[in-house]
Amino acid sequence: MLAFTSARPDARPWVRGLATLVLIAFALTGLPAQAVRIKEVAAIQGVRSNSLTGYGLVVGLDGTGDQTTQMPYTTQSLSNYMQQLGITLPAGSAQLQLKNVAAVIVTAQLPAFAQPGQTIDINVSSIGNAKSLKGGTLVTTPLRGVDGEIYALAQGNLVVGGAGASAGGSKVQINHLSAGRIPGGAQVERSVPTPLQDGDTISLGLNASDFQTARHVAAAINNKLGNGIARALDGRTVQVKAPNDPNARVNFIADLEELSIESMVPAAKVVMNTRTGSIVLNQAVTLGPCAIAHGNLSVTISSTPVISQPNALSGGQTVVAQKADIQIKQDPGIIMNLPASPQLADVVRALNALGATPQDLLAILQAIKAAGALNAELEVI
């Protein structure tokens, strides 16, 4: 028997709504299996993007930049930049109030096969105490990879999707003002070599580790392109023989990614978000017979002000005190028998019958799993 108490018995309509959504999802997943392309379940290993990052300055702000007395590296960075342009700032420049300048971190993703001269989007985020980057311009910033080499140069006017105003100590702000984006704000200076043309084979990496999917992918390739072309190395990798000619290899991969395989039933999994109370079950989740005791516990605290008035001419003062009244109410728990549920719809009906809140279901599902009655993997995000 599993026991659990609840402190919020008033969220049952929410659970019914959740059950309705899950039942709709089950109705959709109950449709006949449809074929999916290999490109939707796997990708060519080695063909990936690379992270770039850099440190730069945003200028042209309307008094919303860093307070340089608290952020000395902003002034130091500007001084170094000016010296590169042949301008030497006077002594004591560290005390300059450059409120239209902000120190930022620039990040970007260098796509696979990106060539010099092409442009990529960049994200710009303040690292100081700048109030807003709106209207600012990023000066030329080198973007480096993990190897320390420069792969792109970033520069341009920021697009900040927010607005704000302040006056008389009041402030109103919409969205975030200390981060922005520059579409096409970086130009690629160096390409990253990929192993696509290396060797006699290519490797397909599955998006999720599953031996059945790997077997189906290899079988689909062999049935279409010839026996022995592909073989599954493990639950996530399928090795495929490919032509050595670069043009023929590209055409081969293009045809390979369009091959269809029948969609498989995924492994049973329950995903729980403890921060929001969201619970998602896929179509493979089943429930064994079990018994659950579920009750409600409520605590009510009320505070009543009590005034102590002194007698006349006593010299005392009037005192206001608080009198707290605490009441605890616990409903009796009822043991409910949940029958075996071979389908997702049956699982939803069984959980809905408990009348538990989403937060309660998080604990109840973990307890059912610990008892061995929930045939699914629990994943907490």
Which residues partner with 300 through β-bridges?
A: 327
Say what the pLDDT of residue 272 is. 85
pTM of the full structure: 0.66
Residue with the two structure tokens 């006949």: 32
Domain coordinates in residue numbering, the chain: 2-31+268-380, 35-46+195-262, 51-188
How far is C-alpha 54 from the chain's CA centre?
Answer: 23
Residues of the chain with pLDDT under 70: 1-34, 68-69, 90-97, 164-171, 173, 263, 294-303, 313, 315, 324, 326-334
Say what the pLDDT of residue 345 is. 76
Pick the closest to residue 188 from 144, 151, 235, 227 (CA basis): 151
Say what the pLDDT of residue 12 is. 44
Q: Rounded to an integer, what distance in angstroms lies between the CA atom of residue 330 and that of residue 312?
A: 47
What CATH number has the domain spanning 35-46+195-262?
3.30.1360
pLDDT, tens digit (0-9, with 9 covering 90-100), for 15-71:
444 444 444 344 444 434 567 889 888 999 988 899 999 999 999 998 888 876 677
Pick the closest to residue 117 from 190, 46, 63, 179 (CA basis): 190
